[in-house]
Amino acid sequence: MKTPSNSEKSPAGRAGKNEISYPAKTDEKAIIMSGYGINSEMETEEAFRRAGMSSDIVHINDLIAGRKKLSDYRLLVFPGGFSYGDDTGAGNAYANRVRNNLWDDVERFLDNDTLVLGICNGFQILANLGLVPGFDKKYEREIALMPNRKGVLECRFVNIRPISDNLWTRGIERMYCPVAHGEGNFFCPPETLERLRTKDMITFQYCQDDMRPANGEYPHNPNGSIEDIAGITSEDGKVLGLMPHPERAMNFTNLYDWPYQKEKMKREGKKLPQESMNMQFFKNIVHYFC
Amino acid sequence: MTSFIHRIEVHYKQDPRLTSRTDRIRSLGIPVDTLHLIDIYTIVTSSRDFSYDELCRIGAQLINPVIQEYTIDTATESVFNYAIEVGFLPGVTDNIGTTAKQTIEDFYTIRFKEGESVYSSQLFFICGHISEDSLQKLTATLANPLVNRVHIKKYEEYKNKGMDPFVPSVRFRELPTAEEVNLDLDDQDLARLGKEGILDLVTGKRRGPLALDLPQIHAIRDYFSKKGRKPTDVELESLAQTWSEHCKHTIFASSMDDDVPKGLYKTFIQEATNKIRREKGDKDICVTVFTDNSGAIIFDDRYLVTHKVETHNSPSALDPFGGALTGIVGVNRDTIGFGLGAKPCLNYYGYCVGDPESDPVLFRGKNKANPILSPRQILDGVVKGVGVGGNCSGIPTPQGWCYFNDRYTGKPLVFAGTVGVMPLKHKHRKLFEKRAKPGDLIVMAGGRVGKDGIHGATFSSEALDPASPVTAVQIGDPITQKKLSDVIVKEARDLGLYRSITDNGAGGISCSVAEMAKECNGCHVFLDKVPLKYHGMAPWEIWISESQERMTLAIPKEKIDEFMDLVQRREVEATVIGQFTDSGKCVVEYHGNVVMDIDLDFLHDGLPKKHLKTTRIHKLFPEPKTSCPARLDKTILSMLQRKNICSKEFISTQYDHTVQGGYVLGPVQGKGRVQAPASLTKVVLDSEKGVGLSQGIFPLYSEIDPYLMAAAAIDTAIRGLIAMGVSLDNIALLDNFCWCSSDEPERLWQLKRAAQGCYDFATAFGTPFISGKDSMFNDFSGFDANNNPVKISVPPTLLISSIGIHGEVEKAVSIDAKFEGDFVYVIGETFPELGGSEYFAFLDYIGNTVPKLDTRKVKFRYQRLTVAIAKEIVASAYPVNYGGLAIALAKVAISGDIGMKITIPSGLRPDYFLFSESLGRFVVTISKDNRKEFEEIVGCDAMLLGTVCGRALQISGQEIITDLPVEELETAYKSPFVGY
């Protein structure tokens, strides 16, 4: 394994000019949930490992049975996947399993100095649990990730840009990573949207290659989400739900346009980066615990 | 017993699915005004009833209140013309119903008892004045009569009482037992027994084909008369499974003519691999070939990768969605069942179907009984099935293809493949070896057993009894299999909890247990221990059922408690169903009675040998007489729109190809998004290496020259990987023969020639076969609307799939032209080889001159190109394929979203030069700075054609032949499948 170095500076594939270097590594551990069709736990673990944080992948049934304890961790991750095959609505059945068996532990977890991340199916689970937006810590369902406007699963690279400045977005100018979901069409009633806006909870939006807004246009906005919303935080900012998958494009060679970018950089005499701009996202999270 | 039936209906406040659904229905020519969709859950209990309040709480769990509402036992209010409710037939896997049931169980901390369940269905409200015909067509797109039940009401019938509740529970019958079968019959009756099956004494009907021929039945009769008893139905059905073409590959195993005494498989496939392995010596890349569920090659010093490609043709003809879904999750199990369990890391697909715009009116039975599905329905279904299988299992699907020809109208070919990855060792234990020991417990894990897939390969034209469980087709349950896969591959394997494992595929446990029993020489099974989906299954049905999502394991007694504890915590059902022995026998008991007792030797090797004879045929097809048009603009646009050439990106983007985090070169490439003939993916994230997949398939060559069809398939499969930078030393091949009418000597001659080609070209390239599969009878026999018999046979089809290890993915090359000013070359010679080409097909001809292959020349060429790519001086590389050079240039330009100026040499007719499908060629682009080095490495094999420049593809000979804007090329390339 080549260790990605932080000192490389290349324009493409990197996080951008405001990129921040962190001391690597934290002793805190992440808990990454698995089971019932969640499927991105291994690459999510790899992303955090590269960013400096080790994780335990824990089957939800081992938490329910008390073999593992949520209170031993400070970062809870619901990774991507197809829990329960998206039956009864994506993320809904897994959220029911959490709510029906682990709710007290989750509430206690949220009371401490902790972070929660949900990617794709994880975001759908967070939405059904009400952890985002989580207004007034009431944890009711206030948003929905509906079936995509095109009616089928969409797997393609998208650009997203941060539009609020918070612990998740520091130093990120743009991320370029895949979506792969059938139900990512963000929806909420107008009054909820207004609250999300005024409280700076809309964190990532889909955008065009040149960072202009996607304006709802396919394929830049791949699913029909209102306001091009790709990710939101909870009201207190400690929980983030994100539809695209930064953990699937950790390396420069994972990016859709890398062969073109490589050829360009080579001709400009530039050194090729090892890792992609998406790693900054995981480094930000790990930094919170450093 | 009284049952309590409740119906929860869920609808969206504003349904986001409607626009795309309505568009889709309209695109099929059904004039629907508006459409509404209701999701229904029917809850059936007998031990307790749910109160209204309880049902409301259940309803709240099944919806998201931000966007959805529910009603309890009240019909959803709406105004419409027709209401169509689509649910499942009894016994069909209902994944949504099962999830709803689990949610209710979890919420109330209860367990549904036997006979209690939740069933899902969908209700469509249709507004619009549609004819009876259109209504029928619409119903056919919403439901398949083999798996679905449909209930239609007009608004007047609906408005006061809604739909009628329906419970698709399986009717229980009395407990059947094993029966003896009399084989003291004359040959005519014995032949009928083999063809139509055992006469069922209860129903008076034949049970469905055993597919045993007379010599085989004689062998069975003689075996049992020596034993002094009659066989049971369990024994006969079991022998039929084990000896089937599907399991024993009798056509590939039998001696043929005078020159192939050892049979096609041993002579041409296995021997090719053996020869290559001997010659490569230390550089041999094979780990396990032909013996396990998949073939395996070395990935690096820590890992191996496996590959296997299966077909699921007959089931997909009947139920495209279910057939394709079980095809892909089935081949996933060939990965989990490799060695001690490899992790599925890449899925792969291939579909041969009829023209989706055609609408053939053909029937399986006389008098318009059992119409076949249209190519469009088949395409839609199989695309969705493989997608659901891969997506739900978290396995990326980076590679696949579609091939269209009317001869696939009667029977489609559906290929499904899976690559697995596994460490070579875990704590000094070799993970690619396995061996059950006498005394080990036989454990069946995963799904339960139902009547699914019993005699599934054959289709009964009799109307199905509405309360009988569906047997002919199966619907997979990828989440159940995902749970099973995870607990095996990610946990139990490295805990060392079992000694052997195999997949339950064709023949169910009758084949998997008997196969594993070879490892220790015996087994003893208690059939009554096997967990069932429902009562009323006869022992022979339990034994050969092909219910999905099951693996069989050999577990040492001292590990059984730990294994059972683990799987229980993962909510995976596992049951001890017997024990492995060293008795030399396969013994099966059912409720204390021995229902099978056969020597393993006879079971596995008792089938009589056959000798097959072939007859040479040589067909001559007319050659086109048209002359070359002065300008080819229109021709190029039409060629780009041909279904075998144009973009099928709608498939690539609905298949997740990025999960597991290893995406490098995907199914579509470049700014202009062109589908690539090969893909590259990292399967071990912290390695620099990657796995390349590609393929070659030229069905139209088979009637002209099956030997050269093999040459084209092998060369194209290899060349796809070479173009990305995979070295020839690191490539292995898989063969899939899908033939027709394999009882005809002419078809067998074509088979022999193709197999001979496989040997010659694979050994010439030094690329070993590691796995293969054949499907020999892809024929449709039915009737047209006037009861005239119709037979449609697929063209003899050889698919060669390739897998290769790329040493350094960072040096891999994509297909798109990159920068203005780069030079465009074609590497390799072009001959007037257009027999069976897309260009001749476009001209409505077949022709006779299929491409030849000079392996000595091209092998050297490929090695040179590999050197150039390793030096990172190749900006793009595209392996010339269907449609020849013109199409390759167009695709390189479209994907790069940039023009080219090309001059072609004189000599050949311009259209023949541009559309010839000569093998061994690449289009590459090279930057100015690298030109010299490139030409030094590749030599005169590379011909400079022009430069990358402007916004148009301009091709000239003496004069300008074509000059087309890239946008226009792109529109032509992408238009045919808009709306799919």
Give per-residue pLDDT as tens, B73-118. 999 999 999 999 999 988 888 999 999 999 999 999 999 998 899 9
Question: Among residues 42-61 of chain B, which lie with CB inside 8 Å of chain A?
Answer: 61
pLDDT of residue B177: 78
| Matching CATH number, A30-288, of 2.60.40.420, 3.40.50.880, 3.90.600.10, 2.60.120.430 | 3.40.50.880
A-B CB pairs within 8 A amount to 195
How far apart, in whole angstroms, are the C-alpha atoms of residue B56 and residue B9?
Answer: 11
Averaged confidence pLDDT in chain B? 93
How far apart, in whole angstroms, are the C-alpha atoms of residue B324 and residue B347?
Answer: 13
CA angle (A271, B863, A253) in 5-degree steps: 30
Nearest-CB residue to B479 (from A37, A127, A257) = A37
* B394/A82 touch (CB, cutoff 8 Å), yes or no: yes
Question: Among residues 175-214 of chain A, which lie with CB inside 8 Å of chain B?
Answer: 178, 180, 182, 185, 187-189
Question: pLDDT tens-digit profile of B161-171?
Answer: 889 888 887 76
Burial of B109 (0-12, 13-18, 19+ CB in 10 A): exposed
Residues of B in contact with A34 (CB under 8 A): 486
Q: Which residues are within 8 A (CB) of B388 and not within 5 positions of it... i.e. 6 or more apart?
A: A85, B321, B325, B478
pLDDT of residue B588: 95
Q: Is A245 a catalytic residue?
A: yes
Residues of A in contact with B670 (CB under 8 A): 260
Q: Which residues are within 8 A (CB) of B257 and not within 5 positions of it... i.e. 6 or more apart?
A: B612, B613, B614, B752
Instruction: Tell the residue number behind the tokens 């069989």, with chain if given.
Output: B552
Query: How far off is chain A from B389, nearest CA to CA, in Å?
Result: 10
Rounded to the nearest 10 degrees, the angle between the axes of helix B633-641 and helix B884-896 is 80
The H-assigned helical ranges of B109-213 are: 132-142, 155-158, 187-196
Q: Is A120 a catalytic residue?
A: yes
SS3 call for A280? helix
All structural domains of chain A with their residue ranges: 30-288
Q: Which of A225, A22, A45 is nearest to A123 (CA)?
A: A225
Choice among B430-444, B456-470, B528-542, B749-763 with the minimum mean pLDDT: B456-470
Higher-pLDDT residue of B283, B209 = B283
Query: How far off is chain B from A155, nearest CA to CA, in Å?
Result: 5
pLDDT of residue B452: 76
Q: Which of A41, A45, A120, A142 is catalytic?
A: A120
The H-assigned helical ranges of B266-395 are: 271-280, 313-318, 320-336, 375-393
Burial of B229 (0-12, 13-18, 19+ CB in 10 A): exposed
* B812/A253 touch (CB, cutoff 8 Å), yes or no: yes
Interface test with A, best of B66, B95, B664, B925 (most A CBs within 10 A): B66
Partner residues linked to B371 by β-bridges: B363
Choice among A6-15, B123-132, B586-595 with the minimum mean pLDDT: A6-15
Q: What is the distance, to the nearest Å, from the Cα of residue A91 to the centroid of all Cα atoms in its chain? A: 15
How far, CA to CA in Å, does A288 sit from each of A72, A133, A170?
Answer: 17, 21, 11
Choice among B203-207, B349-353, B796-800, B830-834 with the minimum mean pLDDT: B203-207
Residues of B in contact with A144 (CB under 8 A): 64, 66-67
Residues of B in contact with A81 (CB under 8 A): 394
Q: Looking at the complex, does the CB of residue B663 fall below 8 Å from at least one CB of chain A?
A: yes
Q: Is A191 a catalytic residue?
A: no
How far apart, in whole angstroms, are the C-alpha atoms of residue B447 and residue B441?
Answer: 18
Q: Looking at the complex, does the CB of residue A245 fall below 8 Å from at least one CB of chain B?
A: yes
Burial of B680 (0-12, 13-18, 19+ CB in 10 A): buried
CA-nearest residue of chain A to B683? A43
SS3 call for B101? helix
Burial of B245 (0-12, 13-18, 19+ CB in 10 A): middle
Rounded to the nearest 10 degrees, the angle between the axes of helix A92-111 and helix A121-129 is 70
Q: Looking at the complex, does the CB of residue B692 fall below 8 Å from at least one CB of chain A?
A: no
Instruction: Tell the residue number behind the tokens 């990532």, with chain if given.
Output: A204
SS3 call for B550? strand
How far apart, in whole angstroms, are the C-alpha atoms of residue B705 and residue B899?
Answer: 37
How far, CA to CA in Å, does B567 sit from each of A23, A85, B482, B540, B711?
Answer: 41, 20, 13, 28, 48
How far apart, in whole angstroms, are the C-alpha atoms of residue B20 and residue A254?
Answer: 31
Q: Are B819 and B875 in contact (CB under 8 A)?
A: yes
Question: pLDDT tens-digit profile of B516-561?
Answer: 999 999 999 999 999 998 878 889 989 998 888 899 999 999 999 9
pLDDT of residue A14: 44
Q: Of all helices (H) and strands (E), which one includes residue B298?
A: strand B295-298
Partner residues linked to A51 by β-bridges: none
How far apart, in whole angstroms, are the C-alpha atoms of residue B143 and residue A6?
Answer: 56
How far apart, in whole angstroms, are the C-alpha atoms of residue B709 and residue B705?
Answer: 6
**Tokens read off for B623:** 């050659």
Parallel, antiparallel, or unpaired: how do β-strands B523-526 and B441-446 relate?
Answer: unpaired
Count of CB atoms within 10 A of residue B85's CB?
22
Query: Residue B422 corresponds to which amino acid?
Result: M
Instruction: Tell the residue number behind the tokens 């959803």, with chain if given.
Output: B76
Question: pLDDT tens-digit profile of B884-914?
Answer: 999 999 999 999 999 999 999 998 999 999 9
Q: Which residues are within 8 A (CB) of B944 and not within 5 positions of it... i.e. 6 or more apart?
A: B823, B824, B825
Question: pLDDT tens-digit profile of B306-330?
Answer: 999 999 988 898 889 989 999 999 9
Nearest-CB residue to A40 (from B394, B569, B819) = B394
Count of CB atoms within 10 A of residue A69's CB?
13
CA-nearest residue of chain A to B929? A267
- HSE-CB at B221 with a 13 A cutoff on CA atoms is 18
* A144/B67 touch (CB, cutoff 8 Å), yes or no: yes
Question: Among residues 336-375 of chain B, which lie with CB inside 8 Å of chain A?
Answer: none
Q: What is the distance, to the nearest Å, from the Cα of residue A5 to the centroid of all Cα atoms in its chain? A: 23
Domains (ranges, CATH) in chain B? 4-158 (3.30.1280.10)
- Taking only Cα atoms into account, the Rg of chain A, rounded to an integer number of angstroms, comes to 18
Query: With a cut of 50, which residues of chain A have pLDDT below it?
Result: 1-18
Averaged confidence pLDDT in chain A? 92
Partner residues linked to B348 by β-bridges: B399, B417
Peptide bond into A219 cis (omega under 30): yes
How far, CA to CA in Å, does B389 sit from each of B138, B271, B286, B325, B477?
Answer: 25, 35, 29, 5, 8
Q: Looking at the complex, does the CB of residue A68 fall below 8 Å from at least one CB of chain B?
A: no
- From edge to edge, which strands make up the β-sheet containing B823-827? B876-879, B922-926, B823-827, B942-948, B900-903, B952-956, B960-965
Q: Looking at the complex, does the CB of residue A243 fall below 8 Å from at least one CB of chain B?
A: no
Question: pLDDT tens-digit profile of B807-827?
Answer: 999 999 999 999 999 999 999
How far, CA to CA in Å, does B328 sit from each of B332, B376, B385, B388, B502?
Answer: 6, 20, 8, 9, 16
Length of chain A: 290
Parallel, antiparallel, or unpaired: how do β-strands B922-926 and B823-827 relate?
Answer: antiparallel
Burial of B335 (0-12, 13-18, 19+ CB in 10 A): buried
Parallel, antiparallel, or unpaired: how do β-strands A115-119 and A75-78 relate?
Answer: parallel
Interface test with B, best of A155, A210, A226 (most B CBs within 10 A): A155
Mean pLDDT confidence for B647-665: 97
Q: Looking at the complex, does the CB of residue B566 fall below 8 Å from at least one CB of chain A?
A: no
Rounded to the nearest 10 degrees, the angle between the axes of helix B478-487 and helix B375-393 is 30
Query: Residue B462 corresponds to which amino acid?
Result: E
pLDDT of residue B455: 66
Parallel, antiparallel, or unpaired: how do β-strands B523-526 and B663-665 relate?
Answer: unpaired
Higher-pLDDT residue of B971, B372 = B971
